[in-house]
């Protein structure tokens, strides 16, 4: 296992160097299945796609369903099917980077395989990891799956429109998250209703501008 992680780390360093030289920001989006990664990408393409050139890598065990949902945005999309594998690794990312014209991309969103555990252990060479968690999963996820929340540069709590229909305790969620990562930016949004999503747009725009200088 240590060997696998070491080799992954070396290749990730290569990817990171390449992306930095091409001024491409790579965002590794990690969440449980069905937390809303693709829906986040849909609204982000819609909004951020006005000012920045977006590319997407879709990691999935099988099917290209998520990629199909993004086709309408006329952006370059590459699908990686892991065929049972529970995470993407830096070698699979490195292989598909050649399919993009990196000079024409500002931000490359990677939708990792839906899994709150294994993807956090594999550096893809990303600029940063984005953790996404849905209200419907319960307020105890940061405490129970701390690795991702420790590593993420930003956390999105999605599906806040469902709070009235669940026993989700937002104070508990916030305080558990703060115990693990005291300073991480937290965006409490609904990607479907649009509640509060502007905060995410503002943040990712600012992050992109500061990266592309």
Footprint of its own copies on residues 26-65 (CB under 8 A)?
32-35, 60-63, 65
Identify whether the C-beta of residue 63 lies closer than 8 Å to the C-beta of residue 111: no
* Residue 195 is a binding residue for its own copies (CB under 8 A): no
Nearest Cα to 199, choosing from 44, 28, 25? 44
Report in angstroms how near the CB of residue 2 gets to its own copies at its nearest.
13
Q: How many residues bind its own copies (CB under 8 A)?
A: 37
Applying CB under 8 A, which of residues 192, 195, 199, 201 lies at the interface with its own copies? 192
* Residue 79 is a binding residue for its own copies (CB under 8 A): no
Distance of CA 41 to the CA centre of its chain: 9
Applying CB under 8 A, which of residues 92, 115, 127, 160 lies at the interface with its own copies? 115
Report in angstroms how near the CB of residue 174 gets to its own copies at its nearest.
17
Binding window for its own copies (CB under 8 A); candidates: 10-18, 94-102, 156-164, 203-211: 156-164
190 to 15, 16, 33, 80, 200: CA distances (angstroms): 32, 31, 17, 27, 11
* Residue 9 is a binding residue for its own copies (CB under 8 A): no
Binding window for its own copies (CB under 8 A); candidates: 41-49, 88-96, 124-132, 135-143: 135-143
Which is nearer to its own copies, 107 or 135 (by Cβ)? Answer: 135
Q: Identify the bridge partners of residue 188 per DSSP, sorted by sequence position.
A: 157
Residue numbers of the site for its own copies (CB under 8 A)? Answer: 32-35, 60-63, 65, 84, 86, 113-118, 121, 134-138, 140-141, 143-147, 159, 161-162, 165-167, 192
């Amino acid at each position: 296992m240590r060997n696998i992680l070491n080799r992954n780390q070396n290749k990730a360093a290569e990817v990171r160097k390449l992306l930095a030289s091409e001024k491409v920001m790579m965002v590794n989006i990690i969440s449980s299945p069905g937390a809303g990664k693709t829906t986040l990408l849909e609204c982000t393409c819609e909004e951020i796609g006005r000012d920045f050139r977006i590319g997407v890598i879709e990691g999935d065990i099988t099917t290209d369903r998520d990629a199909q949902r993004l086709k309408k945005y006329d952006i370059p999309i590459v699908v990686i099917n892991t065929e049972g594998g529970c995470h993407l690794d830096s070698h699979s990312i490195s292989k598909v980077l050649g399919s993009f014209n990196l000079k024409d991309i500002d931000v490359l969103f990677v939708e990792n395989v839906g899994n709150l555990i294994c993807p956090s252990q594999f550096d893809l060479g990303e600029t940063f990891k984005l953790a996404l968690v849905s209200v419907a999963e319960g307020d105890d996820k940061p405490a129970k799956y701390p690795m991702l929340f420790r590593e993420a540069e930003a956390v999105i709590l999605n599906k806040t429109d469902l709070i009235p229909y669940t026993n989700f305790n937002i104070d508990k969620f916030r305080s558990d998250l703060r115990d693990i990562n005291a300073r991480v930016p937290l965006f409490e949004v609904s990607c479907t209703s649009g509640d509060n999503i502007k905060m995410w747009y503002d943040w990712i725009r600012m992050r992109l501008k500061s990266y592309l200088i």
